[in-house]
Amino acid sequence: MPVTLNTADPDFERGFAAMLSAKREDAADVGQAVAAIIADVRARGDAALVELTNRFDRNDLSADGLRFSAADIDAACAQVPAEDRAALELAAARIRAYHDRQLPQDAEWTDETGATLGWRWTPVSAAGLYVPGGQASYPSSVLMNAIPARAAGVERLAVCVPTPGGEINPLVLLACRIAGVDEIWRIGGAQAIAALAYGTESIRPVDKITGPGNAYVAAAKRQVFGRVGIDSIAGPSEVLIIAAGAQNPDWLALDLLAQAEHDADAQAILITPDQALAQAVAAAVERILPTLPRAAIAGASWRDHGTIILTRDLSEAAALSDRIAPEHLELCVDDPQALAAQVRHAGAIFLGAWTPEAAGDYVSGPNHVLPTARSARFSSGLSVMDFVKRSTVSQLSPGALSAIGPAAVRLALSEGLSAHARSIEARLETLNRGS
Amino acid sequence: MPVTLNTADPDFERGFAAMLSAKREDAADVGQAVAAIIADVRARGDAALVELTNRFDRNDLSADGLRFSAADIDAACAQVPAEDRAALELAAARIRAYHDRQLPQDAEWTDETGATLGWRWTPVSAAGLYVPGGQASYPSSVLMNAIPARAAGVERLAVCVPTPGGEINPLVLLACRIAGVDEIWRIGGAQAIAALAYGTESIRPVDKITGPGNAYVAAAKRQVFGRVGIDSIAGPSEVLIIAAGAQNPDWLALDLLAQAEHDADAQAILITPDQALAQAVAAAVERILPTLPRAAIAGASWRDHGTIILTRDLSEAAALSDRIAPEHLELCVDDPQALAAQVRHAGAIFLGAWTPEAAGDYVSGPNHVLPTARSARFSSGLSVMDFVKRSTVSQLSPGALSAIGPAAVRLALSEGLSAHARSIEARLETLNRGS
């Protein structure tokens, strides 16, 4: 049974705070092991990749087998059933349509002093995408990472995916092809992140690395941050459902379980002012849980992290949701738009009972790479913005420099930076001599 | 004398690669010391802050002296000369006007299936700004960090600034007041970052931390990343000037020296196809250098990191600039707009000889917190975007779920996530029964 809290209880705050601060993930300290792997790849390049892949993935690659050939990819794609291919293509088209709208606009204007100001956006040149191997090798994640990069205009897109024992999910390779990935490498773990960041004889370095991974991958991304850009470090996934009114308890239970089946560390939370609904959903979870192929995982998640919170009303539910800042927020209420207007911190918001979060995981269009572990307080899901960067642009006329230069001189001198001041003064003197 | 390279030389690539890979900063490995400081602040709160400030800043604060009072700030602001105040106010107004234009737009649309999709931007609730103490305590940096946060709509803005021996630059406090900072704390180093990230009895935690600092501050920001958002880790500053045509060598020399005077690790680079101009600028640097109060710093930077590159033409100069991805790029050429169109990777671009970089440091309007150490390949300067985050929004109609749900079911099953599939199927069954 999950924890049940009630905001009317006198010690609600204590229970809620305990839930908020509970650590769902046992982050092994793999920093030193990862630093050694990165140093090895930097020092020995491809030879290190071959050796590490042999050791960690029990996969005997020579250096020229590091990369999937076009023929490898063709053969894998040919295995994919037509219905799976069609589903991937529908998903890709919808994700592309959504992300194409995110391309930011350049700006330029001239102000009252004659200064022309603005900014320009340009794509990152090369991006690397990490795709986990084995059970968590999700073709949908390939689409969600690669398509925003392509929409941004990234020229070169390299994927690293471990192939433990030589195994690869053909749908992953097909997703790479549909999304327009340029290179696919049979490498995983920290060594893949090192290769993408620093390059080897075979793999040219990239400028930005995205994609989920295990503790080694996460630690490696943290260590190469600065050398390259990275996306956020993903933690265990979570859903928060706010429900009220005439809801189908089975739908809500399935939505909670869809989150719970990801991972024993995943978290599913129901907040409702309706005690009868809470009980019906809890009962539906218990009834459905044993019927799931992943019952063990989903059951552990629901038992250890599942939470039901009873509130006085929906406004209180929205306020609690903001304190949790959930990755996924479902609003299964009569007027979801009105409730959404009260919410400030959430990675993705799903409005109404016909919008199960699982649809958003695959085909709705918005990205499913979202801020976890309360980081929706300060960060956003993956988007085109992760693959572009902005250059500010300024051009002062002589008149603009006359108007604003003296203030800059004053501030530079107050900061003890006299060459800054003189670089402006030299120009102002020329202007003054001219007038 | 700085290094001079010539793209026509056969071993140019070797020299250029050496310059690109040269490490300008000796990043001390302070990770363990910083981890201990963070753990201490988490465990003991204000008491740890008082003790660490005593030790590192030789400053004896009691817990209730951690924060500058309104009277402290009033007294400091009253000391600031009127001209300095006017210069700060002009700078603040221009920075605000520029950043107000960066506020991103929400979006919502309904597609052909009946799915309503979009996104909403909301501000981070609370931000913390680190301001270094001593020589590098720049009031201009206060404006450049605090104003974008305010423009974004951040509700609570806390500044931490060390006051070694009790010293504070009154202009820093005035800049905080002008920018609308809510709280100013007399705390520096890793302990300040820990307090902002985790909170203490006195200091409520924030959601995002920005601002430059020494190796301890940088390491602390890296360690708390995830718990809170951070801006990029700043490295030594750099300028690249591309010059050609009738240019004033003294102006270019002063612009190079303005960069060099920041720090012995700073880098100033001149790229030009005009050998005579290169020689004239180099001579002007040598002539002006001894006249600077910060000649020792600027001289060390120019000697150790200064670089002049002779190219065949301006297109080659632009291509080299992209490989360097400079923080600041000055285009002192006859048609700077045309040259700018060839540039892809630069933090800030300054067009034409009347736009010295120093004006941009203070009063032009764009932000002076910019990506260093080649990170303009993948990141942008500080902006309003650093203080907002996006929630994606989706609402499917029953018809939209009918149209796209089956593809999601297919993909969920291919990924072995049956509760995902069933959460959609349960709804589709209801629809099918209804029809």
Could you report the per-residue pLDDT of A370-423, keeping only the tens digit for each?
999 999 999 999 999 999 999 999 999 999 999 999 999 999 999 999 999 999
What strands, in cross-sheet order, belong to the sheet with A229-230? Answer: A183-185, A156-160, A126-130, A208-210, A229-230
Say how far apart CA B238 and CA B261 lie, in whole Å: 11
Instruction: Return the number of other C-beta atoms located less than 10 Å from residue B304's C-beta.
Output: 16
Closest CA to A325 of A379, A377, A270: A377
Which residues does residue A55 pair with via DSSP β-bridges, in sequence order? Answer: none
A267 phi and psi angles, rounded to 5 deg: -130, 135
Say how far apart CA A357 and CA A335 lie, in whole Å: 18
Chain B residue with the nearest C-alpha to that of A247: B427
First to last CA, chain B: 83
Tokens of A116: 């022309």
Query: Of chain A residues 221-240, which have a CB less than 8 A from chain B?
Result: 222, 225-226, 228-229, 232-233, 235
**pLDDT tens digits, one per residue of A39-87:** 999 999 999 999 999 999 888 888 779 999 999 999 999 999 999 999 9
Distance from CA of A229 to the nearest CA of B (A): 6
Range B7-20 burial, b when 16+ CB lie within 10 A, else e: beeeebeebbeebe
CB neighbour list of residue A265: distance below 8 Å, 6 or more residues apart? A24, A25, A236, A301, A305
Closest CA to B2 of B316, B299, B241, B357: B299
Dump strand ranges (E) for A62-187. 107-110, 116-123, 126-130, 156-160, 183-185
pLDDT for B233: 78
Region of B390 please: left (phi>0), alpha (psi -120 to 50) or beta.
Answer: beta
- Indicate the SS3 state at residue A150: helix
Q: What is the 3-state secondary structure (H, E, C) of A277-318?
A: HHHHHHHHHHHHHHHCCCHHHHHHHHHHHCEEEECCCHHHHH
Mutate to test the interface with A, among B169, B345, B414 (most CBs of A within 10 A): B414
Taking residues A97-109, what's their average pLDDT?
Answer: 97
Cβ contact B365–A394 (<8 Å)? yes
DSSP A23: -
Question: To 5 degrees, how large is the angle CA A148–CA B402–CA A355?
Answer: 60
Q: What is the 3-state secondary structure (H, E, C) of chain B?
A: CCEEEECCCCCHHHHHHHHHHCCCCCCCCCHHHHHHHHHHHHHHCHHHHHHHHHHHHCCCCCHHHCECCHHHHHHHHHHCCHHHHHHHHHHHHHHHHHHHCCCCCCEEEECCCCCEEEEEEEECCEEEEECCCHHHCCHHHHHHHHHHHHHHCCCEEEEECCCHHHCCCHHHHHHHHHHCCCEEECCCHHHHHHHHHHCCCCCCCCCEEECCCCHHHHHHHHHHECCEEECCCCCCCEEEEEECCCCCHHHHHHHHHHHHCCCCCCEEEEEECCHHHHHHHHHHHHHHHHHCCCHHHHHHHHHHHCEEEECCCHHHHHHHHHHHCCCEEEEECCCHHHHHCCCCCCCEEEECCCCCHHHHHHCCCCCCCCCCCCHHHCCCCCCHHHHEEEEEEEECCHHHHHHHHHHHHHHHHHCCCHHHHHHHHHHHHHHHHHC
Domain boundaries, chain B: 3-25+235-364, 31-108+122-230, 396-434
Spell out the long-range contacts of B39-42 with Cβ–Cβ below 8 A and sequence spacing 24 or more. Answer: B40/B191, B40/B194, B41/B191, B41/B194, B41/B195, B41/B198, B41/B200, B42/B194, B42/B198
Q: Is the pLDDT of residue A28 over 70?
A: no
Concerning whether A327 is annotated as a catalytic residue, the answer is yes
- Would you list which residues of B are annotated within the binding site? 130, 191, 214, 237, 259, 262, 328, 361, 415, 420
The strand pair at A388-395 and B229-230 is best described as unpaired
Taking residues A202-230, what's their average pLDDT?
Answer: 93
ipTM for the complex?
0.95
Taking residues A133-153, what's their average pLDDT?
Answer: 92
The strand pair at A229-230 and A328-332 is best described as unpaired
Which residues does residue A392 pair with via DSSP β-bridges, in sequence order? Answer: A119, B348
Domains B3-25+235-364 and B31-108+122-230 share a fold: yes
Mutate to test the interface with A, among B390, B413, B428 (most CBs of A within 10 A): B390
Q: Hey, what's the torsion of the CAs at B382, B387, B390, B391, to 10 degrees? A: 160
| Fold that domain A31-230 belongs to in CATH | Rossmann fold (3.40.50)
What is the DSSP annotation of A245-261? SS--HHHHHHHHHHHHT
- Would you list which residues of A are annotated within the binding site for NAD(+)? 130, 191, 214
Our measurement of the distance from residue B49's CA atom to the centroid of its chain's CA atoms, rounded to an integer in Å, reads: 26
- Indicate the SS3 state at residue A6: strand
Mutate to test the interface with B, among A422, A430, A432 (most CBs of B within 10 A): A422
Q: Which residue has the tokens 């869809």?
A: A258
Check if the beta carbon of residue B339 is closer than 8 Å to that of residue A391: no
Query: What CATH number was assigned to the domain covering residues B31-108+122-230?
Result: 3.40.50.1980
Q: Is the pLDDT of residue A26 over 70?
A: no
Tokens of A105: 């606009």
B226 phi and psi angles, rounded to 5 deg: 115, -50
Mean pLDDT taken over chain A: 95
CB burial class (10 A; 0-12, 13-18, 19+) of residue B119?
buried
Distance from CA of A53 to the nearest CA of B (A): 24
Instruction: Return the number of other C-beta atoms located less than 10 Å from residue A314's C-beta.
Output: 22
Distance from CA of B27 to the nearest CA of A (A): 13
Distance from CA of A43 to the nearest CA of B (A): 15
The verdict on A300 touching B (C-beta cutoff 8 Å) is: no
pLDDT for B313: 98
Tokens of B361: 């440091």
Q: B209 contacts in A (CB within 8 Å)?
A: none
Provide the residue-wise pLDDT of chain B in tens; the chain has 435 residues. 688 999 999 999 999 999 988 877 666 678 899 999 999 999 999 999 999 999 998 888 887 799 999 999 999 999 999 999 999 999 999 999 999 999 999 999 999 999 999 999 999 999 999 999 877 789 999 999 999 999 999 999 999 999 998 899 999 999 999 999 999 999 999 999 999 999 999 999 999 999 998 889 999 998 898 899 999 877 888 999 999 999 999 999 999 999 999 999 999 999 999 999 999 999 999 999 999 999 999 999 999 999 999 999 999 999 999 999 999 999 999 999 999 999 999 999 999 999 999 999 999 999 999 999 999 999 999 999 999 999 999 999 999 999 999 999 999 999 999 999 999 999 999 999 875
Q: Which of A99, A305, A328, A368 is catalytic?
A: A328
Helices and strands, number each (H, E), in chain A? 17, 14
- Indicate the SS3 state at residue A395: strand
Say how far apart CA A401 and CA A408 lie, in whole Å: 10
Task: Please give the helix or strand (H or E) that residue A413 lies within, else none.
Answer: helix A398-414
The verdict on B156 touching A (C-beta cutoff 8 Å) is: no
**pLDDT tens digits, one per residue of A255-272:** 999 999 999 999 999 999
pLDDT for B61: 86
Q: Is the pLDDT of residue A25 over 80?
A: no
Between B319 and A137, whose confidence is greater? B319
First to last CA, chain A: 83
Q: B219 contacts in A (CB within 8 Å)?
A: none
Closest CA to A12 of A316, A252, A266, A315: A316
The CATH label, of 3.40.50.2020, 3.40.50.1980, 3.40.50.740, 2.130.10.10, for the domain at B3-25+235-364 is 3.40.50.1980
Question: To 5 degrees, how large is the angle CA A129–CA A155–CA A65?
Answer: 55
Say how far apart CA A108 and CA A119 lie, in whole Å: 7
What strands, in cross-sheet order, belong to the sheet with A238-243? Answer: A3-6, A307-310, A267-272, A238-243, A328-332, A348-351, B388-395, B116-123, B107-110
Please give the single-letter amino acid code of residue A250: D
Tokens of A278: 């809470």
Check if the beta carbon of residue B24 is closer than 8 Å to that of residue B235: yes
Cβ contact A407–B373 (<8 Å)? no
Chain B residue with the nearest C-alpha to that of A352: B395
The verdict on B30 touching A (C-beta cutoff 8 Å) is: no
Q: A237 contacts in B (CB within 8 Å)?
A: none
Cβ contact B344–A90 (<8 Å)? no
pLDDT for B386: 97
Between A23 and B105, whose confidence is greater? B105
